[in-house]
């Protein structure tokens, strides 16, 4: 071993925690939902309107998954009619840097046509 730290690989070949994170965030529509919540949209209909092509069934399913993972908090206001809001938790807000990084990468390397 020559002691050259730069020659050491930065990542191991496999990490189960990383894999779980990628599978959670990488599910279809999840990134778009998190991005919409980062912009301040927090009502079901607002998120649905900001993500073209997303069905209400899939939005409901993804919000439930994100809530179970502790990324999204659901608040029910007992009004008439009932008002429900979704907000990112601290854990969810920490995804902002990741969403920003993916957005920058996509703008540099991908086009809408691709």
Q: Which domains does the chain have, with CATH numbers?
A: 30-109 (1.10.10.10)
Contacts of 44 by beta carbon, 8 Å cutoff, 6+ apart: 56, 59, 60, 63, 84, 86
Percent of the chain topping pLDDT 90: 82
Q: What is the pLDDT of residue 113?
A: 58
Q: What is the pLDDT of residue 44?
A: 97
What band does 13 get if pLDDT is binned at 50, 70 and 90?
A: confident
Would you put residue 29 in left (φ > 0), alpha (ψ -120 to 50) or beta?
left
Q: What is the pLDDT of residue 8?
A: 63
**Residue appearing with tokens 């703008």:** 107
């Amino acid at each position: 071993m020559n002691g050259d730290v730069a020659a050491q690989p930065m990542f191991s070949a496999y990490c189960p925690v990383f894999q779980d994170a990628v599978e959670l965030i990488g599910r279809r529509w999840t990134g778009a939902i998190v991005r919409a919540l980062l912009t301040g949209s927090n009502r079901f209909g607002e998120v649905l309107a900001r993500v073209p092509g997303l069905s209400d069934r899939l939005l409901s399913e993804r919000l439930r998954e994100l809530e179970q993972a502790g990324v999204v908090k659901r608040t029910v206001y007992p009004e008439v009619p009932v008002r429900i809001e979704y907000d990112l938790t601290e854990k969810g807000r920490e995804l902002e840097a990741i969403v920003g990084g993916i957005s920058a990468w996509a703008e540099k390397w991908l086009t809408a046509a691709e």
